[in-house]
Amino acid sequence: AQSVSQHNHHVILSEAASLELGCNYSYGGTVNLFWYVQYPGQHLQLLLKYFSGDPLVKGIKGFEAEFIKSKFSFNLRKPSVQWSDTAEYFCAVISGGSQGNLIFGKGTKLSVKP
Amino acid sequence: NAGVTQTPKFRILKIGQSMTLQCTQDMNHNYMYWYRQDPGMGLKLIYYSVGAGITDKGEVPNGYNVSRSTTEDFPLRLELAAPSQTSVYFCASSYSRDTSYEQYFGPGTRLTVT
């Protein structure tokens, strides 16, 4: 079965620190990859997505992610975090032919100290 | 566009009661989904639908039922509520011709079964 692993359950950073959240998936075929963010008390919002083309994807609010096919990874990065980035981040994958069913990782909670 | 809307926002049920969680989207998306989110577990797919009249089970369908009589609506029915169904429920939709398979999420329904 397909799975998505997010390596960190909770990350605590100070403002202006750099961020990298790890994500690995298990499916070997064609995949579409997503990072969603959930701010406290809110619903999931798309940060960025990869489905073809340039493996370095830029999203909203200064986030980016790099798809490395050989490593089955899609790590999320941001050079300088802000207090407002405090949220839970979810990596998700859809494999080709899966009727668009997203498989989610368990999430990484990010706390940014002002 | 309102996007994906869900009602109610919050609900407390007693064990054995039943209820229907409502989900409506106004984006003319043909795919719709129901997920549950439990702390530290990410989101799990309950049921999905690829069009009116067509539904299928996801990863955790037990204790739930769905129907899809129109493109816009995808209600989730809980029969005989159990404490294990205490969770946050998210509805989502996507468009099959969007090759990125991006899903759009509703604001969620927080359900407590006591």
- For chain B, 114 residues long, the average pLDDT of each consecutive 10-residue run is 92 97 95 93 92 93 96 96 96 84 92 96
Q: Which residues of A touch B48 (CB under 8 A)?
A: 99-101
Provide the shortest C-alpha distance from residue B32 to chain A (in Å): 10
Provide the shortest C-alpha distance from residue B37 to chain A (in Å): 10
Q: Give the residue from A6, A62, A97, A68 showing the smallest Cα distance to B99.
A: A97
Q: A85 φ, ψ to 5°?
A: -80, -5
Q: What is the pLDDT of residue A51?
A: 86
Beta-carbon separation of A46 and B43 below 8 A = no
Amino acid at position B15, single letter: I
Selecting from A43, A90, A101 the residue whose C-beta is nearest the C-beta of B108 gives A43
Beta-carbon separation of A99 and B103 below 8 A = no
Q: What is the pLDDT of residue B4?
A: 96
Q: Are strands A56-58 and A108-113 parallel, antiparallel or unpaired?
A: unpaired
Q: B9 φ, ψ to 5°?
A: -80, -40
Q: What is the pLDDT of residue A96?
A: 63
**B56: helix, strand or coil:** strand
Q: Which residues of A touch B43 (CB under 8 A)?
A: 44, 90, 102, 104
Indicate the pLDDT class of residue A97, thresholds 50, 70 and 90: low
- Which residues of chain B are at the A interface, by a Cβ-Cβ cutoff of 8 Å? 31, 33, 35, 40-45, 48, 50, 56, 58, 90, 92, 94, 96, 99-108
Minimal-distance CA residue of chain A relative to B50: A99
Instruction: State the SS3 of chain B.
Output: CCCEEEECCEEEECCCCCEEEEEEECCCCCEEEEEEECCCCCEEEEEEEEECCEEEECCCCCCEEECCCCCCECCEEECCCCHHHCEEEEEEEECCCCCCCCCEECCCEEEEEC
pLDDT of residue A31 exceeding 90: no
Segment A40-96, tens digit of pLDDT: 888 899 999 998 899 999 999 999 999 999 999 999 999 999 999 999 999 999 876
Chain A segment 9-38 residues within 8 A of B by beta carbon are 9, 32, 34, 36
Stretch A28-42: mean pLDDT: 89
Q: Give the residue from B34, B41, B28 showing the smallest Cα distance to B71.
A: B28
Q: What is the pLDDT of residue B100?
A: 75
Number of H helices, E strands in chain A: 0, 12
Q: What is the pLDDT of residue A99?
A: 64
Beta-carbon separation of B101 and A104 below 8 A = no
Q: CA–CA separation, B93 vs B102, rounded Å?
A: 8
Beta-carbon separation of A99 and B31 below 8 A = yes
Q: What is the pLDDT of residue B98?
A: 75
Q: What is the pLDDT of residue B99?
A: 73
Segment B6-24, tens digit of pLDDT: 999 999 999 999 999 999 9
List Cβ neighbours of A33 (8 Å cut-off, separation of 6 or more): A23, A25, A49, A50, A51, A65, A67, A74, A91, A92, A93
